[in-house]
């Protein structure tokens, strides 16, 4: 049995999913946290149910890839029950999606989430009345506190077992006529009455498990990917759809997609008016907070202070934990040396292995985990959209808009989720530009290089200067690239969620979820890379690689041995620092590199080719071509920036 | 008159907007339909976006977006549930 969780952005689907699925979905008080679907098996009263968490969407005919995922899923998978999660404090708007889902004729259960918030806003909601009006079961829920979750799933199981298809909402006669004629035409003039009718040949041929009427509605609304899917099986369908759309245009004077969405939203308003009783609204700190945090002066001051505090805390925790951990691994290294019993090969391999493990534990986690905690905290409170609001004007100067600030902030943790989050942007142009700039953001791995080399040997002031220099280069790149790309987009459209109190459980699980992803993907490569380098060293093959990279290292006035760490840095950026120690054959970097060389090296590492995992994500999101363009571009930027650093930095050091 | 001309705190009725299929679609999804009432809550400084309230939900609209939304100012707050 399979249940699909569907709801509008930020309605708490993923929170609900996590309550039962043991933390597999990312949640956040922010639109578009779930960009692809997540599946999990749950057991309800002895029955194993496959639960699918789909990205939040305002409508099934969405405009960005994350939103299209929902219809694509429903149009290609059998689902026994749709659990439609609604933000009860914004019932009318949520119900527009519910009506659209009811059209599909699949069994549906409405979960009225955030009942506590609705209460705070002075609303009382009559769930039973809504159940009667919709003809679909409803269940109250406060997913963030886990209240009502059990009852919800028991009700869901009952609803799925009964398999009752809900009533389809009916719209104006003109619309209904167009829908029915199109549905009949799709099936070669065979009139199909009920929404729940068995799949007709057209559905089978096109592999679209939607009954005729819903299919007709979606085509009438002009869903292009669905049209292509159907057109493959039934050529000429484009003309049928176009004539149905023309018919609506003629009788109603506006496009079918407009007519349908107004019809739904009117019906939703009527429904909400019947079940919501609005009482006195209780004003709380939540309502007053934006007066400060979005204030033209205090807002920016708060932003700077918040980011500064985040930076300070990460640096504080990171440097305090890194030293003892490294000392621990150093003592292990001595032990490994005695263990290998004089065999240089075994000793080298073991030492490489240890370096890889130590790199993951002692360098990455002290910085990554605190960062993820801080980010999760800001995300759950609902601060990130405020940052987008404040930063919109600035982002416009880089050819982007405020929404792109999220890939940026995520990028400081890891470029992989940053590239992934560009999906919530509508225009391909914006996605490409945001992804390009996000890969230039120094992630936690590069943070390790900056802190381990520059901050440790030259002081935190120089590290901060490098971060500012990095921002400058990103802004410059944004300007140049956006000037080369065609056409500006209208700009940002973003929902501002109400502030919510984050729970430790949710923040911790999210940090763990992201850290685990990092460890699973990166750590093995890190360890393998270290061992491979140890072997290369043993067989003295590194000289050849260093010759290949010599033009770059020569131009940057770096020792030739730096070539190998740079190549391995593509696997994981922090490798370039770990391997630098091995390649130079020193424990103390100051013995082999002068201050300018440290800065030049770090600047180059900051910008050149994103790591393997990020490259893979770029390929998935934007395709091979864009990935290669971005990779090539970053090498050019890295060279130019590092050259600039080589000649500009000396007077300041 | 477009949305950019409206001062913070004022109520408006949305008349129309244009900007391509996808753009219009996006606004419709968020409940910004012609005839709908909305309230301008604040303008961000430095040519930043504005914050409006529709259906008791707050939306940030970039200036490029707001400039394409034609509105009329209305006196009384309308019930926009």
Q: For residue A338, is pLDDT > 60?
A: yes
Judged by CB atoms closer than 8 Å, whether chains meet at A63 and B25 is answered as yes
Beta bridge partners of B60: A494, B51
Q: For residue A441, is pLDDT > 90?
A: yes
B50 vs A contacts (CB less than 8 Å): none
- Token representation of residue B41: 């809550």
pLDDT in tens, A365-421: 777 788 778 878 888 888 888 988 998 888 888 888 888 887 887 788 778 778 877
A123: nearest CA in chain B?
A: B81
In this prediction, residue A23 has a pLDDT band, given cuts at 50, 70 and 90, of very low
Distance CA A236, CA A198 (A): 23
Q: Residues 28-87, chain A: which have Cβ within 8 Å of B? A: 58-59, 61-63
- What average pLDDT does the segment A569-596 reach? 81
Q: What is the mean pLDDT of chain A?
A: 82
Strands A138-140 and A108-113: parallel
Q: For residue A111, is pLDDT > 90?
A: yes
Order of strands across the sheet that contains B11-17: A493-496, B57-61, B50-54, B37-43, B11-17, B69-74
A490: nearest CA in chain B?
A: B64
Q: For residue A454, is pLDDT > 80?
A: yes
Angle separating helix axes A298-339 and A285-293, nearest 10 degrees: 90
For residue A625, the model assigns a pLDDT of: 92
**Mutant choice from A261, A392, A490, A498 vs B, greatest count of B C-beta within 10 A:** A490
- Among the residue ranges A82-86, A205-209, A234-238, A610-614, the one predicted with the least confidence is A205-209
Any domain includes B19: yes
What ipTM, to 2 d.p.? 0.91
Distance CA A261, CA B25 (A): 9
Any domain includes B10: yes
- What average pLDDT does the segment A460-470 reach? 90
- Token representation of residue A384: 């990130």
Order of strands across the sheet that contains A47-53: A38-44, A47-53, A2-7, A81-87, A108-113, A138-140
Any domain includes B60: yes
Judged by CB atoms closer than 8 Å, whether chains meet at B33 and A261 is answered as yes
Low-confidence ranges of chain B (pLDDT < 50): 80-81
Nearest-Cα distance to chain A for B73, in Å, is: 21
Range of the domain at B43: 3-74
Q: For residue A461, is pLDDT > 70?
A: yes
Task: List helix spans (H) across A6-145.
Answer: 13-21, 65-74, 91-102, 115-120, 127-134
- What average pLDDT does the segment A485-510 reach? 80
Any domain includes B79: no
Judged by CB atoms closer than 8 Å, whether chains meet at A90 and B55 is answered as yes
Judged by CB atoms closer than 8 Å, whether chains meet at A392 and B62 is answered as yes
In this prediction, residue A228 has a pLDDT band, given cuts at 50, 70 and 90, of confident
Q: Residues 202-231, chain A: which have Cβ within 8 Å of B? A: 222
A10: nearest CA in chain B?
A: B57
- What own/partner pairs with CB < 8 Å and gap ≥ 24 does A286-290 have? A286/A498, A286/A499, A289/A499, A290/A386, A290/A496, A290/B42
**Mutant choice from B53, B56, B69 vs A, greatest count of A C-beta within 10 A:** B56
- What CATH number does the domain containing B12 carry? 2.30.30.90
Q: Is A626 exposed, middle or buried (0-12, 13-18, 19+ CB in 10 A)?
A: middle
Any domain includes B51: yes
Distance CA A482, CA A400 (A): 8
Judged by CB atoms closer than 8 Å, whether chains meet at A493 and B22 is answered as no
User: DSSP letters of A347-408?
Assistant: HHHHHHHHHHHHIIIIIIHHHHHHHHHHHHHHHHHT-HHHHHHHHHHHHHTTT--GGGHHHH
pLDDT greater at residue B11 or residue A347? B11
Q: Which of B19, B48, B65 sits opposite A393 (nearest CB)?
A: B48
Q: Which of B33, B55, B65 sits opposite A491 (nearest CB)?
A: B65
Any domain includes B80: no
Please tell me if residue A257 touches chain B, with a CB cutoff of 8 Å: yes
- Identity of the highest mean pLDDT range in A145-154, A274-283, A529-538: A145-154
* Residue appearing with tokens 């001595």: A334
Q: For residue A192, is pLDDT > 50?
A: no
Q: For residue A39, is pLDDT > 60?
A: yes
Angle separating helix axes A575-584 and A344-358, nearest 10 degrees: 150
Domain A2-162 CATH assignment equals 3.40.50.300: yes
A286 vs B contacts (CB less than 8 Å): none
- What average pLDDT does the segment A280-285 reach? 70
pLDDT greater at residue A646 or residue A315? A646
CB B56 within 8 A of CB B80: yes
In this prediction, residue A488 has a pLDDT band, given cuts at 50, 70 and 90, of low
Judged by CB atoms closer than 8 Å, whether chains meet at A393 and B68 is answered as no
E strands within A244-286?
Answer: 276-278
* Residue appearing with tokens 């040396």: A337
Residues of B at the A interface (Cβ-Cβ below 8 Å)? 19, 21-31, 33, 42, 44-49, 51, 55-65, 68, 81
CB A169 within 8 A of CB A103: yes
- Token representation of residue A520: 């699973």
Distance CA B48, CA B43 (A): 7
pLDDT in tens, A134-167: 888 999 999 888 888 889 999 999 888 888 778 8
Judged by CB atoms closer than 8 Å, whether chains meet at B42 and A294 is answered as yes
Judged by CB atoms closer than 8 Å, whether chains meet at A495 and B59 is answered as yes
- Token representation of residue B3: 């949305």
For residue A642, the model assigns a pLDDT of: 95
Domain locations in chain A as residue ranges: 2-162, 173-278, 298-652
**What is the total count of domains within chain B?**
1
For residue A282, the model assigns a pLDDT of: 67
% of chain A at pLDDT higher than 90: 18
- What average pLDDT does the segment A195-205 reach? 53
CB A441 within 8 A of CB A433: no
A272 vs B contacts (CB less than 8 Å): 81
Any domain includes B28: yes
% of chain A at pLDDT higher than 70: 90
For residue A82, the model assigns a pLDDT of: 92
Which letter does DSSP use for residue A109 in this model? E
Any domain includes B61: yes
């Amino acid at each position: 049995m399979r249940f699909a969780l569907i709801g509008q952005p930020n309605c708490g689907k993923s929170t609900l999913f996590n309550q039962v699925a043991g933390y597999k979905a990312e949640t956040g008080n922010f639109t578009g946290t779930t960009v692809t679907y997540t599946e999990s098996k749950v057991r309800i009263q002895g029955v194993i149910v496959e639960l699918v968490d789909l990205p939040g969407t305002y409508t099934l005919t969405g405009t960005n890839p994350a939103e299209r995922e929902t219809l694509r899923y429903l149009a290609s998978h059998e689902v026994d029950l749709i659990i439609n999660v609604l933000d009860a404090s914004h019932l009318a708007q949520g119900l527009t999606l519910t009506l659209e889902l009811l059209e599909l004729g699949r069994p549906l259960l409405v979960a009225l989430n955030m009942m506590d918030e609705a209460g705070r806003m002075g609303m009382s909601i009559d769930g039973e009345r809504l159940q009667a009006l919709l003809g679909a079961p409803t269940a109250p829920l406060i997913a963030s506190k886990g209240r009502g979750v059990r009852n919800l799933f028991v009700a869901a199981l009952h609803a799925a077992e009964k398999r009752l298809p809900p009533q389809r909402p009916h719209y104006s006669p003109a619309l209904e006529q167009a829908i029915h004629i199109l549905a009949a035409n799709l099936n070669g003039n065979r009139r199909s009455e009920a929404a729940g009718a068995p799949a007709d040949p057209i559905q089978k041929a096109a592999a679209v498990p939607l009954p005729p009427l819903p299919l007709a509605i979606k085509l009438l609304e002009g869903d292009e990917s669905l049209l292509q899917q159907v057109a493959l099986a039934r050529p000429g369908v484009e003309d049928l759809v176009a004539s149905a759309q023309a018919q609506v245009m003629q009788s109603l004077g506006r496009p079918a997609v407009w007519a349908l969405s107004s019809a739904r939203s009117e019906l939703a308003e009527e429904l909400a008016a019947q079940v919501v009783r609005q009482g006195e609204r209780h004003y709380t700190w939540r309502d007053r907070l934006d007066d400060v945090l979005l204030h033209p002066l205090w807002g920016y001051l708060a932003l700077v202070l918040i980011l500064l505090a985040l930076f300070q805390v990460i640096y504080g925790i990171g440097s305090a934990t890194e030293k003892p951990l490294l000392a621990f691994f150093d003592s292990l290294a001595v032990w490994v040396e005695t263990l290998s019993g004089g065999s240089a090969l075994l000793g080298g391999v073991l030492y490489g292995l240890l370096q890889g493990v130590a790199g993951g534990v002692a360098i990455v986690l002290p910085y990554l985990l605190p960062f993820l905690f801080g980010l999760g905290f800001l995300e759950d409170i609902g601060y990130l959209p405020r940052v987008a609001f404040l930063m919109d004007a600035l982002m416009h100067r880089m050819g982007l808009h405020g929404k792109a600030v999220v890939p940026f902030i995520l990028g400081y943790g890891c470029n992989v989720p940053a590239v992934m989050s560009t999906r919530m942007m509508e225009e391909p142009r914006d996605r490409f530009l945001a992804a390009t700039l996000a890969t230039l953001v120094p992630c936690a791995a590069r943070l390790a290089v900056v802190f381990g080399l520059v901050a440790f040997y030259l002081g935190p002031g120089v590290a901060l200067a490098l971060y500012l220099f990095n921002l400058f280069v990103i802004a410059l790149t944004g300007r140049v690239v956006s000037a080369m790309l065609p056409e500006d987009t209208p700009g940002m459209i973003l929902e501002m969620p109400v502030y919510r109190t984050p729970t430790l459980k949710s923040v911790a699980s999210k940090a763990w979820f992201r850290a685990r992803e990092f460890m699973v993907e990166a750590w093995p490569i890190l360890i393998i890379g270290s061992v491979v380098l140890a072997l290369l060293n043993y067989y003295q093959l590194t000289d050849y690689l260093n010759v290949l990279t010599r033009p770059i290292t020569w131009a940057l006035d770096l020792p030739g041995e730096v070539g190998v760490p740079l190549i391995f840095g593509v696997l994981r950026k922090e490798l370039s620092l770990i391997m630098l120690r091995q390649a130079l054959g020193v424990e103390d970097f100051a013995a082999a590199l002068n201050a300018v060389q440290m800065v030049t090296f770090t600047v180059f590492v900051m910008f050149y080719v994103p790591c393997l995992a990020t490259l893979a994500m770029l390929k998935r999101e934007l395709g091979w071509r864009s990935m290669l363009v971005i990779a090539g571009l970053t090498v050019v930027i890295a060279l130019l920036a590092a050259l600039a650093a080589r000649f500009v930095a000396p007077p300041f050091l | 008159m477009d949305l950019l001309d409206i001062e913070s705190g004022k109520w408006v009725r949305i008349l129309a907007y244009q900007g391509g299929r996808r753009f219009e679609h996006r606004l419709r999804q968020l409940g910004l339909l012609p005839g709908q009432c909305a309230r301008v809550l604040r303008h961000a400084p430095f040519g930043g976006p504005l914050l409006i309230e529709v259906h008791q939900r707050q939306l940030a609209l970039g200036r490029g977006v707001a400039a394409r939304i034609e509105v009329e100012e209305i006196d009384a707050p309308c019930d926009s549930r």
